[in-house]
Amino acid sequence: MTSTGPTTSFPAKIAGAYNVCLRGIVCLFAVLAALSIAAMMLVTCFDVVVGVLNRFGWCEWSFVGALDIVKLAGGVTIISALPYTTAVKGHVAVEYFFHKMSRRGRIIIDVIVRLLGMGLFGCLVWRNIIYGAMLKENGVVSMTLQLPVFWLPYLAAFSFGVMVLVILYNMTHPGREMIKP
């Protein structure tokens, strides 16, 4: 008995599962960035309202640690937004001279720039893991709330590792975004 449908090879199935997994991780980072922005807005608004109430004497309470929360959420936002922005090819690029080159020249420059980007983010993964371990070992905490901050470089390292994979995807799939915005 023969099958009538097209068969997919095992490597193609693995590549498909890999792409789906990578897209899922990128989307999770995008959701984390959105939640971090929402947290920054809520904390800032709440801190302003409490400050106004205190100024008029309607409240004796203050929001201690708002700056710590906003700073950490800002870091999470920037770190988490990078993979998604790269996946949708949303970075600003000045391509005036790039488009003046021949097709072959553009391909060569594009590959070189992507390889340099992968190397840069690979180094950032390594250095952020070392930095996070140092922060954990020294017990570094935020100024007001005394929250541990070692996890932020670890999150950055993971995000930068995903960036390397997204850049690799972009290099192997030229002209296509990984995710449609």
Model confidence over 151-171: pLDDT tens digits? 999 999 999 999 999 999 999
Residue 52: pLDDT over 60: yes
- Closest to 135 in 3D by CA, of 148, 145, 147: 148
Q: Give the pTM.
A: 0.86
Q: Print the domain residue range for 34.
A: 10-172
**CA 10 to chain CA mean position, Å:** 31
Residue 62 domain-assigned? yes
What letter does residue 91 receive in the DSSP assignment?
A: S
- Closest to 78 in 3D by CA, of 171, 160, 179, 21: 160
Q: How many domains does the chain have?
A: 1
Residue 52 domain-assigned? yes
The whole-angstrom separation of Cα 117 and Cα 164 is 8
Residue 156 domain-assigned? yes
Residue 139 domain-assigned? yes
Paired tokens of 151:
């996890």
pLDDT band at 2 (very low <50, low <70, confident <90, very high): low
The whole-angstrom separation of Cα 155 and Cα 76 is 8
Residue 6: pLDDT over 80: no
Q: Report the chain's C-alpha Rg in angstroms.
A: 22
The whole-angstrom separation of Cα 52 and Cα 14 is 57
Mean pLDDT for 109-138 is: 96
Residue 73 domain-assigned? yes
Query: Pick the residue with more confidence: 11 or 74?
Result: 74
Residue 179 domain-assigned? no
Residue 97 domain-assigned? yes
Residue 92: pLDDT over 90: no
Residue 152 domain-assigned? yes
- Closest to 91 in 3D by CA, of 74, 114, 120: 114
